[in-house]
A and B are shown apart, each in its own frame.
Chain A
Amino acid sequence: MNLKQTGPWIEHSGPDADVVVSSRARLARNLTGLPFVNQASDTQRREILQLVRSLPFASERGEGLVWIDLQQSTSEDRRLLFERHLVSRQFIESVSPRAVAIADDEQLSVMVNEEDHLRMQVLLPGLELEEAWRRAVEFDRRLEKHADIAVHPRWGYLTACPTNVGTAIRFSVMLHLPGLRLTNELERLRRASNDLDLAVRGFYGEGSDSSGDFYQVSNQLTLGVSETDLLATFVGEVVPRIVAYERMARDILVERSATLLEDRVHRALGTLRSARLLGIEESMKHLSRVRLGIALGLLPDVPLGTVQRLFLEVQPAHLRRIRPDSIDDTALEPVGEDRMLDDERTRRRRAALVRHELGG
């Protein structure tokens, strides 16, 4: 599989990068005349793959899309796609005919035969939801020119699960919220989000859900609100408010317990720079503190991009792809899809990688 070592944009940081890691717009679309994926036979599912693959939409920005057949890829490659946020967990765990098409810059990808025939996403660094939406629509228009998409005069875009019907869009932002967690404000954020029909999830690859203090906020409603209204609420109100809330929590931490905070940040960096064995959970925890330290200006010599990349590279499939010679020469066991090996050799390699990258 010709995926690069890490995503080409992972080290870029977009607007409001101190809090907002990435922005995503995801659209669900289904073709007419065929059953939804859950009711389709394997033959029909292959037919859907053929049909989608033959569409000339691959000309997005003049570049081709890389087509990856999940049935023909290794479990490690599938896991890599998942860690890279290009496919869902459900998608790598399924066994039926399915594929993902990925743009060269990895910012646009299309899952074929997930819950819906097509699920396309645009994923950009920082707070760039408007741009993500515009690129998604641009792509959607290409799709609609060449394929008949299932729409209903009353219900809008039809989806396998009626909770996605209507615009069939999910906007989401991935946020780094260590300040709110350390000040015990997360529960309040959750409740407030719930009132606004938003979902908040702990989010990042492996490990306990929020071990890196990453949270994904997304819309719950897809019916009765236009994409532009939803976007305006997200970009104009919801995200700026959460960002301001997180920054306020960080200010309070600095104000009330500067030394304690500095101690935690520097201890985290110290551990990452000197540990000989690193588990996934503790890597995420310490990387999160270092990320916070960078945002607060406490660690001027540690680049945010490097830390951002490490969040990805310490994940099991990525760790196994690291140029082994530059880190160590131990061969690692193949990685399972839903099970994560975190044996001593894995932890040793992770520690070696992190030391190497952070100049330990």
Chain B
Amino acid sequence: MNTKCDKCDQPAEVHEIDVEAGRDVHLCREHAVEAGFQVPQSAPVTELLTQFATMPPPGEKPTPRRAERPTACEHCGATFARFRKTGLLGCPDCYESFARQLEAVIARSQNGANAHVGRVPDRSSDLVDLQALRRSLIEELDRAVASEQYERAADLRDRLNTLTADEARG
């Protein structure tokens, strides 16, 4: 089925029902993003190839080529064979020592994801985050007082005070 986008000649990737208008909507990726639809990210081809390459062909036993690979992590001595058995790595550096093998393992267990998104320890961003936290605490305090949740309000006030002391210390 090759439905075209309602707004251009590209093939439509998003097919939704517009409840208000009571009709079907077909949009290409670009126009779907523009209209505010969640468009599933397709995995980049290179990533799929990596996964494919590390997967044993169906019906064949995987042929270990351990001789070419580092047999043990030079920082902690843990081997990849041990990881296969226990599911646990030996140290943070194992992620480098077994980088190639782990890439496929991680992609498989994490639905194909191949990089971290989210928090990282960054001391320089602390101040910014503290300010955001302060704002949300104040908002919540207001709500607690408005709804007469005094215990909660006192609790929030304590945390604001702690936060202030922290900021003063830098």
Is B88 located at the chain interface by the 8 A CB criterion?
yes
Q: In the complex, A34 Cα to B158 Cα: how many Å?
A: 36
Given A38-B90, A162-B89, verify A222-B110 contact (CB < 8 Å).
Answer: yes
Q: Does A242 contact B (CB under 8 A)?
A: no
Q: How far is the CA of A38 from the CA of B95 in the complex (A)?
A: 15
* Minimum Cβ distance to chain A for residue B98 (Å): 9
- Establish whether residues B78 and A155, one from each chain, have CB atoms under 8 Å apart when the complex forms: no
Interface membership of A69, Cβ < 8 A: no
Residues in B whose Cβ lies below 8 Å from that of A225: 113, 117-118
Question: How far is A32 from B158 in the complex, measured between Cα atoms in Å?
Answer: 33
Chain B, residues 85-109, CB within 8 Å of chain A (1/0): the string is: 0111111100100000010011001
Contact B92–A156 (Cβ < 8 Å): no
Task: State the interface size on chain A (CB cutoff 8 A).
Answer: 44
Residues of chain B within 8 A of A34, CB atoms compared: 91
Contact of A162 with B162 in the complex, beta carbons under 8 Å: no
Q: Are B110 and A166 in contact (CB under 8 A)?
A: yes
Instruction: Say which one of B19-27, B28-36, B120-128 lies at the interface with A.
Output: B120-128
Contact between chains at B119 and A167 (CB < 8 Å): yes
Is the CB of A353 closer than 8 A to any CB of chain B? no
Mask: chain A, 142-156; 1 = CB below 8 Å from B; 0 = not: 001100011110111
Asked if B129 is at the interface of the complex by the 8 Å CB criterion, the answer is: yes
A29 to chain B, nearest CB (A): 9
Q: Could you say which residues of chain B place their CB within 8 Å of the CB of A162?
A: 89, 95, 102, 105-106, 109
A100 to B: closest C-beta gap in Å: 21
**CB of B136 within 8 A of chain A?**
yes
By the criterion CB–CB under 8 Å, are B114 and A224 in contact? yes
A166 & B116 in contact (Cβ 8 Å cutoff): yes
* Selected interface stretch from A133-141, A244-252, A309-317: A133-141
The answer to whether A158 and B95 have CB atoms under 8 Å apart is yes
| Interface membership of A238, Cβ < 8 A | no
A35–B109 CB distance below 8 A: no
Known: A138-B159, A224-B115. 12 other contacts (CB 8 A): A35-B78, A38-B86, A61-B159, A141-B129, A144-B121, A155-B116, A156-B120, A165-B106, A166-B118, A167-B119, A225-B118, A229-B117
Question: 29 A–B contact pairs at CB < 8 A?
Answer: A35-B75, A35-B76, A35-B91, A38-B90, A39-B77, A39-B78, A39-B88, A61-B162, A134-B133, A137-B119, A138-B133, A141-B126, A145-B123, A151-B121, A156-B118, A157-B116, A162-B106, A162-B109, A165-B95, A166-B110, A166-B113, A166-B116, A167-B116, A167-B117, A221-B110, A221-B113, A223-B110, A223-B115, A225-B117
In the A-B complex, the 7 residue pairs with the smallest Cβ-Cβ separation, listed nearest first, are A224-B113, A156-B116, A39-B90, A226-B118, A150-B92, A223-B110, A223-B113
